[in-house]
Structure 1
Amino acid sequence: MAEAITGPALALLDIGEIPRGLRALDGLIKEAEVEIIGAGTVQGCRYLIMFAGEVEPVQRSLVRAKEIGAETLVDTVLLPYAEERIVPAIRDGTVRWPAPGDTLGMVQTSTPSTMLRAVEAGLKGALVELVQLRICDGLHGKAIAAFWGETHDVEAAIELAEIAIGRGVFDGFRTEIIRRADPAVVEALIPGSTFFKEWRG
């Protein structure tokens, strides 16, 4: 089981230049006491930084990092009281089965920050499970998430996610609802949604 993060707030920066990303990482660490959940390069020659902690320090560090990132920022998000399933889903990459219901809801966004905003809205507003969350690597810098549950709950989650996406970088987003999903679809998702089940670069 993944360790709990140090506070309720979660922030993600997507920076379009790797050197500037490292400088932003240095600046936000020096600004306030936060926990770095992950930092590194992703496809598209971008640099992602995810960090957590108490609300006020995370806010301060995010402001500082955005100042440094400036014109190289692709997208950012701050979740002051992040839904507790988000970080474990990102950390371990596990597809979570079984879960009750028969309907699959898929979301794709052009940036991971917008995806976190969408996923949180869906999870907090509807009785669904987050069965998969993937950001950037292997997706050309995009992000995907899979909700699972009863049809009306998944429909509600997707609607809430779409509203949240409208507050972020919404170019190229897609959603799909698969009602009474065929077992073959479920089987395809269980090992992960990648075509090659072993990473090939």
Structure 2
Amino acid sequence: MAKKPEPPSAAGPALALLEIAEVPVGLRALDALVKEAFVEIAARGTVQCGRYLIAFAGQVEPVEMSFGRALEIAGGKLCDSVLLPDAEPRLLPAFRNGVVRWPAPGDTLGVVQSETCPTLLNAIDLALKGAQVDLVELRLADGLGGKALATLWGDVHDVEAAIEIAEAANARQLSFSPGVRDALNTVVIPNADDEVRNAVSGGTRFFTEWRG
């Protein structure tokens, strides 16, 4: 019996994330962007607080085309968005499967939180590229009231550098996008106590299983 051919892959370096305020508009944007160009939908669905997230990847040009089309459809219902032409490879697996990556070398914790998911993704992409730190956990919206959170781990100077890069990226975003007011909330904890290590290694949720 002939083996069924594998479906074509849209695998590529580009990654885009859109956060849309209304679910109906989000679904319409999803329909439009997949019809616009050949991209891979990495994740999509409703999140707190009643918003719709769409993450998609692929080669740069198709992702740019689909991204532009989705922005047109979202219009005034767009909360935030980001397009990363050469996304850090650790990002997609981190938010797609929600796995906590531990143990990690070092003794310093870095935490980055934002009001919207695309803002966090942009900052963490640059932080991971610019400093030798581990991405322990990346959480988008659910269980956070719609906010986004990332935990980084490593040696103190590396974590400090990563946080500085993330903050600088956010400052640039604020200066070039006057409508955006999503400043990051960050902290660096050197020589983290064992209780903090345990809190990070087990994931940051209060309940082991999210209760809605």
TM over 0.5: yes
Measured on the aligned residues, the alpha-carbon RMSD in Å equals: 1.3
Kindly indicate whether the alpha-carbon contact (under 8 Å) linking 1:13 and 1:76 is maintained by their aligned counterparts in 2. Answer: yes
1:199 corresponds in structure 2 to 210
Secondary structure of 2:38 counterpart: coil
- Looking at structure 2, the residues matched to 6 and 61 of structure 1 have their Cα atoms a distance apart, in angstroms, of 15
Say how many residue pairs are matched.
Answer: 198
TM-score by length of 2: 0.91
1:112 corresponds in structure 2 to 117
How far has the Cα of 1:173 moved from its partner?
A: 2.5
Gap runs ≥5 in structure 1: none
Aligned residue among 169, 183, 187 for 1:176:
187
Q: Equivalences for 1:70-109 in 2 at 5 Å? A: 70-109=75-114
Aligned residue among 46, 50, 56 for 2:55:
50
1:122 is aligned to 2:133: no
- Looking at structure 2, the residues matched to 171 and 126 of structure 1 have their Cα atoms a distance apart, in angstroms, of 23
1:36 is aligned to 2:47: no
1:73-130, Cα deviation, whole Å (9 max, x unpaired):
0000000000000011111211111111100000000001001101011100001010
2:12 corresponds in structure 1 to 7
- Looking at structure 1, the residues matched to 148 and 10 of structure 2 have their Cα atoms a distance apart, in angstroms, of 22
Gap runs ≥5 in structure 2: 1-8, 175-179
Aligned partner letter, 1:20: V
How far has the Cα of 1:165 moved from its partner?
A: 1.7
% same residue: 59
4+ residue runs over 6 A deviation: none
Aligned partner letter, 2:127: G
